Amino acid sequence: MKTAYDIILRPIITEASTDAMALNKYTFEVARKANKIEIREAVEEIFKVRVVKVNTLWRRGKEKRRGQSSGYTPDRKKAIVTLAPGETIELFDGV
């Protein structure tokens, strides 16, 4: 059985994601096979907040070259989680 920490891999902190925090939206990198229900339950369990909405999207890996050989970075799945009004995640408050 997957734990909440197996589903939520890491927060994504970029300029766009920190701007979205003003709208109560937080961005995480999640496990590839995680669905929206599992992501919602994992965020609620880890951060003790109420989740209103979960949007997911895929980031395809980019092609990288080192000399003649080339390969791809791994594909990643992101989740944008919208919290209920008045809820915040303390991890991001210092950002």
Residue with tokens 């609620």: 44
Long-range Cβ contact pairs of 17-22 (< 8 A, separation 24 or more): 18/92, 18/95, 20/80, 21/92, 21/95
pLDDT, tens digit, for every residue of 15-27? Answer: 999 999 999 999 9
Mean pLDDT of the 46-65 span? 96
pTM assigned to the model:
0.87
Q: How many CA within 13 A on the CB side of residue 25?
A: 14
The domains found in the chain, sorted by start residue, are 4-84 (3.30.70.330)
Contact between residue 44 and residue 51 where contact means Cβ atoms under 8 Å apart: yes
pLDDT, tens digit, for every residue of 7-50? Answer: 999 999 999 999 999 999 999 999 999 999 999 999 999 999 99
Tokens of 73: 């970075």
Report the percentage of the chain scoring pLDDT > 90.
Answer: 89
